[in-house]
């Protein structure tokens, strides 16, 4: 009687069994002792010394980037404490306790995922089981991965147990974001921070695994995998596993670049070299090649930032190659590129690349954003180094180098030849007994339409001020005084006196004079002055101010004597039209925008005006 199973079915079942029994490299080569963990000697040495001295803390927190060995160290520490030959800093990995922990079936070691067991009820259940003694091992150990995912209520429920646990209970926490853990929990834990693995160490580790797997992989491909992993051992093993599965034969650099979808380092160096030379067509061609190859411009931008950062470090600290996380064979190429430019230029390039990160990352057209960024980078001025400037100055002083360009000088008047005689209306005024204030300006000509173009006459240089003598007192500190009033006949009309006062105030107080220009003289009798203003309420309030009226009275006193009674009224009897109201509002906005206090606030606070709103006055407001 046949079984109904042919040879092809048996072959398929055997193949399926082989597939199910395959362990990925990340699990197959997971460290089992402290010595197997790479680049974390600062943590493994501390833990081994603590075990030897019996000073292991009851709560330990492992923090660091993903794939650097946080949960692995927690498992190794649990094996070291519960090993049948321990406590020991080197677990045997052969006893029942060690093998159970390795396989994840230990009765007294509980691995809890904090992301899926983050409620307060689950932590309360854990708190109830803590008080029971371990079944087979000396210690009951709780390993909580991604502990920062616990809720605040769950942390509070765990707080008392974590502070005073039973003597046989230990807590090992692992997290990639320790800043999210409450300080009350952090203060009760012994913290160990793990580091990213550098490219050189990670590449050597991957080469050893390839040798153990008896696979031939090019060193350039290994470096590409290590760089793409970003310092994560687990990520690098996953990428290597994918690479070995996709290529049955020897693995080359081209295979790795095509499979992983990453760009060649040569493309980064070529783009940087073209930028240093200022070769715009080559830069645009490189972007077109990246676009045709389907590469991610965001990743290219990030690699470019890292490359120019390495160039800056190579320029400023050439004797510190350890600060540059690149393979050793790239250091010489970085030094050569860094020697061709100055440090300030490299710093400016890095700064602009970082500033444009969001534009490239979130742009709907990353290619166009990258092209625009390259063209901006080409516009950066090349700052010459100090040593280069010194060498050029030495050559010029020795007569070997070209002379510096002479600055273009403005034409100077010929002092030997007297200037042509000006017309009478443009001749200089005769000197006065008292020199005018330096800030004052001469009054404009009465007939500006007769003024010829400035180009017809050479510019007259101001005569040097005469030295102060005993007959002329030195100016004292204080507000500038208005210039002396011009002489007017005794029977001058009121309009002439008012125009003279406005002209006198326009030099020392231009803002007040602008408001007075909107006023009409209605009455001037004895020492009584009445003005009517047709401006805005802002102008009216300015002129009615006590300080402003004091200035006006001081200017009027030489003409009409004192005491002076000054009255300012608003124009009545007319109604503003829409155009007049709009003009007044626009004028008020301009005056508010150019107000000295507003301008000072904008300068000191670095702000800008978004909107200016004109509020309607109340009914009882003048």
Q: What pLDDT is stored for residue 401 in this prediction?
A: 52
Side-chain half-sphere CA neighbours of 486 within 13 A: 14
Does the pLDDT at position 72 exceed 80? yes
pLDDT digits (tens, 9 = 90+) for 148-166: 999 898 899 888 889 888 9
Mean pLDDT, rounded, for 337-342: 86
Local structure of residue 168 (DSSP, 8 states): T
pLDDT digits (tens, 9 = 90+) for 192-251: 999 999 988 999 999 999 999 999 999 988 988 998 888 899 999 999 999 998 888 888
- Tell me the three state secondary structure of residue 190: strand
Tokens, residue 27:
């699990």
Taking the model in full, what pTM does it have?
Answer: 0.55
For 598, residues 6+ apart whose C-beta sits below 8 A from its C-beta are 592, 609
Q: What pLDDT is stored for residue 388 in this prediction?
A: 61
Does the pLDDT at position 53 exceed 50? yes
Closest C-alpha among 378, 315, 381, 316 to residue 345: 381
pLDDT digits (tens, 9 = 90+) for 317-337: 888 877 887 777 788 888 888
Closest C-alpha among 244, 365, 352 to residue 297: 365
Are 367 and 297 spatial neighbours (Cβ–Cβ below 8 Å)? yes
Q: What pLDDT is stored for residue 488 in this prediction?
A: 67
User: What domains appear along the chain, each with residue ranges and CATH number?
Assistant: 25-195 (3.40.50.300), 263-382 (1.20.272.10), 494-570 (3.30.300.180), 584-622 (no CATH)
Which run of H or E residues covers position 327? none
Peptide bond into 331 cis (omega under 30): no
Mean pLDDT, rounded, for 248-257: 85
Sign of CA dihedral 92, 96, 99, 105: negative
Closest C-alpha among 496, 468, 483 to residue 560: 496
Q: What pLDDT is stored for residue 476 in this prediction?
A: 42
Lowest average pLDDT, out of 55-59, 270-274, 322-326, 568-572, goes to 568-572
């Amino acid at each position: 009687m046949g079984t109904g199973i042919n040879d092809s079915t048996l072959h398929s079942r055997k193949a399926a069994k082989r597939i199910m029994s395959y362990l990925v490299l990340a699990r197959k080569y997971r460290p089992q002792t402290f010595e197997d963990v790479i680049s974390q000697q600062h943590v493994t040495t501390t833990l081994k010394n603590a075990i030897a001295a019996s000073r292991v803390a009851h709560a330990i927190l492992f923090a660091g980037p993903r794939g650097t060995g946080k949960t692995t160290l927690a498992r190794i520490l649990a094996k070291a404490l519960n090993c049948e030959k321990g406590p020991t800093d080197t677990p045997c990995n052969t006893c029942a306790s060690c093998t159970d922990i390795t396989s994840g079936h230990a009765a007294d070691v509980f691995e809890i995922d904090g992301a899926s067991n983050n409620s307060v009820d689950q932590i309360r259940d854990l708190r109830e089981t803590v008080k029971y003694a371990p079944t087979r091992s000396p210690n009951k150990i709780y390993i909580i991965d991604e502990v920062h995912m616990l809720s605040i209520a769950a942390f509070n429920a765990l707080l008392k147990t974590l502070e005073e646990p039973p003597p046989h209970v230990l807590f090992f926490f692992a997290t990639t974001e320790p800043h999210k853990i409450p300080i009350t929990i952090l203060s009760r834990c012994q913290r160990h921070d793990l580091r990213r693995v550098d490219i050189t160490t990670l590449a050597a580790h991957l080469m050893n695994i390839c040798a153990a797997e008896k696979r031939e992989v090019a060193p350039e491909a290994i470096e590409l995998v290590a760089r793409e992993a970003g310092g994560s051992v687990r990520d690098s093993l996953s990428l290597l596993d994918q690479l070995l599965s996709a290529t049955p034969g020897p693995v080359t650099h081209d295979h790795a670049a095509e499979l992983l979808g990453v760009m060649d380092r040569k493309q980064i160096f070529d783009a940087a070299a073209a930028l240093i030379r200022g070769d715009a067509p080559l830069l645009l061609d490189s972007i077109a090649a990246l676009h045709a190859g389907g590469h991610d411009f965001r990743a290219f931008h990030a690699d470019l930032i890292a490359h120019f950062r390495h160039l800056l470090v190579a320029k400023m600290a050439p004797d510190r190659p350890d600060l540059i996380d690149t393979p050793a064979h790239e250091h010489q190429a970085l030094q050569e590129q860094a020697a061709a430019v100055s440090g300030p230029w490299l710093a400016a390039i890095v700064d602009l690349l970082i500033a444009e990160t969001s534009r490239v990352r979130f742009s709907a057209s990353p290619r166009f954003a990258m092209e625009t960024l390259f063209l901006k980078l080409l516009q950066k001025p090349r700052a010459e180094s100090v040593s280069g400037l010194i060498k050029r100055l030495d050559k010029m002083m020795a007569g070997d180098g070209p002379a510096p360009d002479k600055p273009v000088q403005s034409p100077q008047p010929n002092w030997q030849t007297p200037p042509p005689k000006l017309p009478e209306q443009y001749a200089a005024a005769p000197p006065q007994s008292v020199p005018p204030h330096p800030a004052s300006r001469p009054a404009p000509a009465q007939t500006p339409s007769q003024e010829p173009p400035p180009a017809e006459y050479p510019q007259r240089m101001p005569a040097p001020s005469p030295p102060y003598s005993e007959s002329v007192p030195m100016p004292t500190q204080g507000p500038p005084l208005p210039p002396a009033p011009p002489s007017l006949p005794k029977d001058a009309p009121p309009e002439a006196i008012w125009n003279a006062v406005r002209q006198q105030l326009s030099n020392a107080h231009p803002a007040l004079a602008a408001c007075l220009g909107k006023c009409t003289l209605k009455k001037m009798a004895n020492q009584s002055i009445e003005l009517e203003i047709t401006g805005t309420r802002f102008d009216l309030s300015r002129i009615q101010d006590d300080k402003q009226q004091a200035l006006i009275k001081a200017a009027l006193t030489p003409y009409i004597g004192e005491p002076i009674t000054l009255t300012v009224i608003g124009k009545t009897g007319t109604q503003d039209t829409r155009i007049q109201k709009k003009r007044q509002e626009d004028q008020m906005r301009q005056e508010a925008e150019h107000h000295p206090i507003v301008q000072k606030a904008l300068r000191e606070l670095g702000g800008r005006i978004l909107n200016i709103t004109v509020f309607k006055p109340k009914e009882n407001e003048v």
